[in-house]
Amino acid sequence: MSIASLSLKLTGLYEAELLIELMLRYWKHPFADDVGFRSDLLENAAEALRMAVDGQSLILDVPAKKMNLVAAVWYVEWAALDAEGTGGLAGSPQSNQRKEWLETVRRAVPSCFCSPDLLP
């Protein structure tokens, strides 16, 4: 079973909700207190993982079948921020905080953003 498939299975567990809450709070996402945002983020991360299971690569250097839950959460927030960039929110304080969160997550757990085959 692929990493993407295993990660997709995790999205139905309470632990996935907990992971997302901890990721948002620990790395100071501006919407960390928004229950609806967290719920939508998990739902959309599950959809991203479904796409990966179907073979769609979403992040450069992360093969589709090797996509993991952390990378899927990151991807969903990156895609949402990218989509909002054309709507006049680019450069707002929240937009900047969200960009910082994306950068922080990628720096904190770089192993989630490459093929596990490349890790020692």
Q: Is residue 116 part of a domain?
A: no
Q: Compute CA distances 102 → 23, 49, 77, 81, whole Å.
A: 11, 18, 8, 10
Q: Is residue 95 part of a domain?
A: yes
Contacts of 98 (CB under 8 A, 6+ apart): 29, 30, 31, 77, 81
- Contact 61/55 with Cβ under 8 angstroms? no
Determine the pLDDT at residue 116. 74
Q: Does residue 31 lie in a domain region?
A: yes
What's phi and psi for 60, nearest 5 deg?
-55, 135
- 56 lies in which domain range? 3-111
Q: Is residue 25 part of a domain?
A: yes
pLDDT reported for residue 89: 53
Assessment of whether the complete model's pTM goes beyond 0.75? yes
pLDDT above 70 coverage of the chain, percent: 92
Out of 44-48, 53-57, 84-88, 96-100, least confident range:
84-88
Residue 100 lies in a domain: yes
Outline where the chain has alpha helix (H): 3-10, 14-26, 35-53, 69-84, 93-108
Confidence of residue 86 (pLDDT cuts 50, 70, 90): low
- Decide if 120 is inside a domain: no
Q: Answer whether residue 118 is part of any domain.
A: no
pLDDT in tens, 40-70: 999 999 999 999 999 999 999 999 999 999 9
Number of domains in the chain: 1
